Structure 1
Amino acid sequence: MISNCIQLLVQDLELACEPALQAMTKISWLHFDNVGDQSSYVTQIIMHLKNTVPNLRDNLASSRKYFTQFCIRFANSFIPKFIQNIYKCKPISTVGSEQLLLDTHMLKTALLELPSIGSDVKRSAPTTYTKVVIKLMTKAEMILKLVMAPLDGNLEGFVSQFLQLLPESTIAEFHKVLDMKGAKLSKAQMSSLDALFKQITKAASGENNK
């Protein structure tokens, strides 16, 4: 019963943040001239967190474990959605990628402070929660660093770099990053990259199983 209630609270907050995520994908990322402050969609998301989370924290003050559960579930659900929306931010320029990376960093900072957001008492967030946020938001940051990384004809090198930064990623995610980069590849080049991707991941899993 409590688990269902927590899930409903998570869904409510996600729903409030949804318009901001939609706005993120409608920005013309290709035409950025310079990196500025955080984008308005990030400000909107942080505003929703500040408007919602303090009340929840106060209401669950006697059961901190349930509040921690809420924070962890929200991070585990919201951040993957944020990443899916990153993939939709295309076409994107290098400067646009830098702005999106700045936005991602600002959101990561806000999420790490989520358990004490809007509180006069600053206490450390539970380690179980911070681990989730750092792992998932670091993935978002790595995706954008790969979007900014040059291909320069060194396609094999890019595959290695991709798997070094995102070792747990799928070939579908690899294709999404190439798509964001606007990579113009022939079918033969794509087949070659896919084969190399599978070869490296197979070798890596073999090493891990030793």
Structure 2
Amino acid sequence: DGGGGGGGERSNDDGLGLDDEEEATSATAIRKRYERERRQRERDALEASGQGRAARGMEGAADAAAKTDFRGLISSCFEPHMGGYVAAEERELCEAVARLVAGEKWHREENSDNSVLTSATQLFLQMKRSLKRCSRMTRGNALFQLHVSFKKVLRRYAEAIWNAAAPKGADAAVASDGAAAAMVAAATTGALSPATTWKVKVEDDMLARVCLVVETADYVASTLYGLAEAVRGFVDEEMAGGVEFEDVEECFVDLKARGATLLVLAVETRLDDALTALGAVSWDQYHEIGDESAYVGEVAAVLRGALPLISSILGEANESYIVDKLFGSFTARWRWAVARCRRVSEAGLQQLLLDTQVVRSNLLSCVTSGASGGKRLVEKEMGRAEAMLKAAAAPAEALEMLLPDATSVERLRVTEMRGGGSGGDGGGSGGGVLRRMAEARAGAAASMAERMKQARAAMTSSSSGGVSGAGKEK
């Protein structure tokens, strides 16, 4: 029956109740179990003899060796002897400085957005290459000492470009602290002639060089932070904190300041002839009021020659800084050059006032949009000069109204300006003098307008005649 048939099948399978595949699998499992037991017996035997502990120790040492960083182990053996290599790198960079400065073109590169000397960018590129070469061999003390060499090279570069740009006498002019301030102070005290140590003659080509030095010094000072970060990224961590370029940055900030001072003094030297001419006029014998004086034209010519050149090279920030300094010093000198005139006639006061207003207008026309400080200085100093002239032409009691905050020196100068000959008693007519000064200025302006009108009419007539003549010939 069914039950008997089932019992017969199990007896054919040796009573295990498994088919052939299950039986084979069971045999494999049994073999694996016996293999594991055999290996465990062998390990137990090794443990008993002490060889197992040695084997595990060797395995641990191998693991530790695999995790060990061998980088720098060989090169560290040569670290005490790397001084010669660093010295060679420094020597090569110093030679590069001399070569690059000697081959500098000293003009702004075409299609360039800045006025940085090519030698500066090339020097930084060579220092970058030197840094990479050294970092391949060591990141220890030799690399740290290389950054010290970089600082020496950069100081040498600052000296090299200054010597190549500054004309003879420039060092003496800018050596004293506050050379421009001392120049103004000499004028303020009423000295007959300011000290001449600040004067320095700079031709246009050298003026352009100084401008390039100012821009390059600005570039180097701002790039040093990136160089310091690059060195810190290569040198060993325990030395990274000692990497700094602050002293070199100060060196280039000082170079920029010296260049800016030299630019101001160079233009002031050119303007000095006009101030000398102003003081040489016999104002007590001055009779006729005309257009602006010849020295006013000299001031305009100097400004037209120097400022566009400076503006074409300097960036806006540096240009505004220098223009502010220049106008601040020159307007103060102009005011005191006017104030040193003594016993000025009525016509002389009127002429000086007219000249001051023209110079003021010329200066304001040169002030850039970013040089707001320069505009304020011009308005303040030239306005003060005009007030002193008006006070000299008015009765003595009008001084408090025209110059309520006058200093003792200003009061003295106004008093000495009064009393000129042949043009009036310098204050006897009081308001009448001021009125005549205003009328004279208006008359001069009307005369100038009339001459311009006549010139335009002559040009129109000449143009019409030319056209007419051409028509007749045709």
Residue 342 of structure 2 contacts residue 417 of structure 2 at CA under 8 Å; is this kept in 1? yes
User: What residue is the counterpart of 1:9 in the other structure?
Assistant: 263
In structure 2, the CA distance between the partners of 1:149 and 1:72, relative to structure 1 (3 Å rule), is same
> Structure 1 residue aligned with 2:339, among 56, 72, 87?
87
Which of 88, 106, 109 pairs up with 2:358?
Answer: 106
Counterpart position of 2:289: 35
Structure 1's unaligned 5+ residue stretches are 117-123, 152-157, 184-210
Other-structure match for 1:133: 378
Total equivalences in the alignment: 166
What residue identity is the alignment partner of 2:323?
Answer: C
Distance change >3 Å, CA 33–CA 182, structure 1 → 2: closer
Q: Using the TM superposition, give the Cα deviation of residue 14 of structure 1 relative to its aligned residue in structure 2, in angstroms.
A: 0.5
Render the CA deviation track for 1:31-81: whole Å, top value 9, x for unaligned: 222211000011011101111110000011xx2011011111011111111
Q: Match for 2:406 among 163, 169, 174?
A: 169
Bigger relative contact order, structure 1 or 2, given CA contacts below 8 A and separation 6+?
1
* C-alpha separation in 2, matches of 1:125 and 1:141: 26
> 1:168: how far off?
3.5
- Equivalent residue of 1:182, what SS? coil
| Deviation at residue 27 of structure 1 after TM alignment | 0.8
Give the whole-Å Cα distance in 2 for the aligned partners of 1:128 and 1:83: 18
Matched residues in 1 for 2:373 and 2:277: separation? 31
Residue among 320, 327, 347 paired with 1:75: 327
* Alignment CA distance shift 1:87-1:65 (3 Å): same
* TM-score computed with the length of structure 2 as normaliser: 0.34
User: Structure 1 residues 109 and 125 mapped into 2: Cα distance closer, same or farther (>3 Å)?
Assistant: farther
Task: Return the offset for 1:125.
Answer: 6.1
Question: Percent identity over the alignment?
Answer: 29
Q: Is the 8 A contact 1:24 1:41 kept in 2?
A: yes
Residues 79-109 of structure 1: CA distance to partner in whole angstroms, max 9, x if unpaired?
Answer: 1111111122222101110000000000000
Quick one: structure 1 residues 74 and 32, their matched pair in 2 at CA, closer, same or farther if it must change by over 3 Å?
same
Would the alpha carbon gap of residues 166 and 129 (structure 1) be closer, same or farther in structure 2, given more than 3 Å must change? same
The 3-state SS of whatever aligns with 1:38 is: coil
- 1:126: how far off? 3.4
The partner residue of 1:178 within 402, 408, 415 is 415
Letter in 2 for 1:95: A
Q: State the alpha-carbon separation in 1 of the partners of residues 401 and 264 from structure 2.
A: 33
Q: Secondary structure at the match of 2:290?
A: coil
In the alignment, which residue of structure 1 is the partner of 2:302? 48
User: TM-score by structure 1 length?
Assistant: 0.74
| Structure of greater Rg | 2
* Residue pair 1:112, 1:125 contacting (<8 A) in 2 also: no
SS in 1 for 2:344: coil
Please identify runs of 4+ aligned residues in structure 1 that moved more than 4 A: none
Residue of 50, 58, 69 corresponding to 2:312: 58
Paired position in structure 2 for 1:19? 273
Alignment RMSD (CA, Å): 1.7
